[in-house]
């Protein structure tokens, strides 16, 4: 036991042991520094950048500090960094050719951060996928769809796609298409629709509701009734408004027509080139009576 302690003490007092202790101390300090400066970065940039930008900048700062302290610790431990740097250079070139897509995704992620088209927690439509933004990472954007599925989209794909932010602004407009019969009084239709919006607590008074004439259809006058609402109420209003319009139209005897088609069935017709029927002369008509000619 005493011999083991003496051996350990001699190793700790040697140059190599001192270097290893310094390396371990540097790694611990690096981890603490990365955590400390990461928290400071979050506090400083929270008001200026979006949440996903803060997360990515914090990771960049933390990983950079840890990398610097690990490199210093390896040099204190006696490793020759020049050899490692040469090998890292060759490895970097090889990985660069093999990971062009990854580099493209990282660069696209930087552009997405700069544009700030969306943030974590917002609802967006990217291409044909709609969902809540969960994570914006260096390589991809992760969405949670309304049926609770996680969809991963590469940053390069996101940058090239059409992005619709459904929750960027505090208010939105709902456009409800309505068709009324040609015999309807459009002034009455306007009054009924405006009253529906007034009675619905989810519809905003300002901006005011608008009624658009969308043209004459095959069986109805097409109208667009547009109301403004707070963005979080989109699902509830989208379900309530059509039902309330239907009830109000029924009370006011306003018809909502539906397409109708009339089919006429014709009987068999004679062909145009059919020979005419030869009928016997009518004996009751004197003008058609046959006369007998005298025989020779």
| 233, 202 Cβ separation under 8 angstroms | yes
In a domain, 272, yes or no: no
- Answer yes or no: do 85 and 143 share one domain: no
- Among 84, 55, 78, 68, which residue's Cα sits nearest to residue 29? 68
CA pair distance 236, 238, nearest whole angstrom: 6
- Answer yes or no: do 132 and 149 share one domain: yes
Count of domains forming the chain: 3
**CATH number (domain holding residue 220):** 3.30.70.100
- Answer yes or no: do 89 and 13 share one domain: yes
Q: Each residue of 121-159: pLDDT tens digit? A: 899 999 999 999 998 887 889 999 999 999 999 998 998
Complete DSSP assignment for the chain: -HHHHHHHHHHHHSHHHHHHHHHHHHHHHHHHHHHHHHHHHHHHHTTTS-HHHHHHHHHHHHHHHHHHHHHHHHHHTT--HHHHHHHHHHHHHHHHHHTHHHHHHHHHHHHHHHHT---TT-EEEETTEEEEEEEE-SSEEEEEETTS-EEEEEHHHHHHS-EEETTSSSEEEEEEEEEE-TTS-HHHHHHHHHHHHHH-TTS-SSSPPEEEEEEE-SSSEEEEEEEEEEGGGHHHHHHHHHHHHHHHHHHTT------------------TTPPPPP-PPPTT-GGG---PPPP-
Q: Each residue of 40-81: pLDDT tens digit? A: 766 766 666 656 566 666 777 777 777 777 777 776 666 665
Segments forming the whole domain that contains residue 134: 117-165
- Answer yes or no: do 74 and 121 share one domain: no
pLDDT band at 91 (very low <50, low <70, confident <90, very high): low
Enumerate residues 6+ apart whose C-beta is below 8 A from 168. Answer: 118, 122
In a 10 Å sphere around its CB, with 0-12 CB exposed, 13-18 middle and 19+ buried, how is residue 177 labelled? Answer: exposed
In a domain, 268, yes or no: no
In a domain, 282, yes or no: no
CA pair distance 208, 212, nearest whole angstrom: 13
Q: Each residue of 217-251: pLDDT tens digit? A: 888 999 999 999 999 999 899 999 999 999 999 99
- Answer yes or no: do 185 and 124 share one domain: no
- Among 147, 152, 203, 149, which residue's Cα sits nearest to residue 175? 203
Q: What is the pLDDT of residue 56?
A: 64
Q: Is the pLDDT of residue 286 over 60?
A: no
In a domain, 265, yes or no: no
Q: Which has more confidence, 94 or 246?
A: 246
- Answer yes or no: do 75 and 121 share one domain: no
Record the tokens describing residue 296, joined without a space: 């020779």
In a domain, 291, yes or no: no
- Answer yes or no: do 85 and 146 share one domain: no
């Amino acid at each position: 036991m005493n011999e083991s302690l003496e051996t350990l003490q001699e190793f700790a007092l040697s140059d190599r042991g001192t270097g290893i202790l310094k390396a371990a101390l540097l790694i611990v300090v690096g981890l603490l520094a990365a955590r400390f400066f990461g928290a400071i970065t979050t506090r400083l940039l929270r008001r200026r950048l979006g949440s996903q930008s803060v997360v990515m900048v914090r990771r960049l700062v933390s990983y950079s500090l840890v990398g610097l302290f690990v490199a210093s610790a390896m040099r204190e431990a006696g490793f020759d960094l020049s050899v490692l740097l040469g090998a890292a250079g060759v490895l970097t070139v090889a990985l660069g050719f093999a990971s062009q897509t990854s580099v493209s995704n990282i660069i696209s992620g930087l552009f997405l951060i700069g544009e700030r088209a969306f943030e974590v927690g917002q609802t967006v439509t990217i291409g044909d996928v709609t969902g809540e933004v969960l994570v914006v990472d260096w390589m991809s954007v992760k969405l949670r769809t309304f049926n609770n599925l996680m969809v991963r989209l590469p940053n390069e794909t996101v940058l090239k796609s059409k992005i619709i932010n459904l929750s960027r602004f505090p208010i939105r407009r709902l456009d409800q298409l309505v068709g009324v019969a040609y015999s309807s009084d459009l002034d009455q239709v306007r009054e009924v629709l405006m009253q529906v919006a007034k009675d619905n607590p989810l519809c905003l008074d300002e901006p005011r509701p608008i009624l658009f004439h969308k043209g004459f259809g095959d069986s109805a006058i097409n109208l667009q009734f547009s109301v403004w609402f707070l963005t979080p109420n989109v699902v509830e209003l989208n379900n309530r408004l059509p039902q309330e319009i239907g009830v109000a139209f029924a009370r006011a005897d306003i018809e909502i027509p539906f397409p109708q088609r009339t089919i006429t069935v014709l009987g068999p017709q004679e062909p145009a080139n059919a020979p005419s029927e030869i009928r016997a002369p009518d004996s009751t008509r004197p003008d058609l009576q046959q006369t007998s000619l005298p025989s020779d």
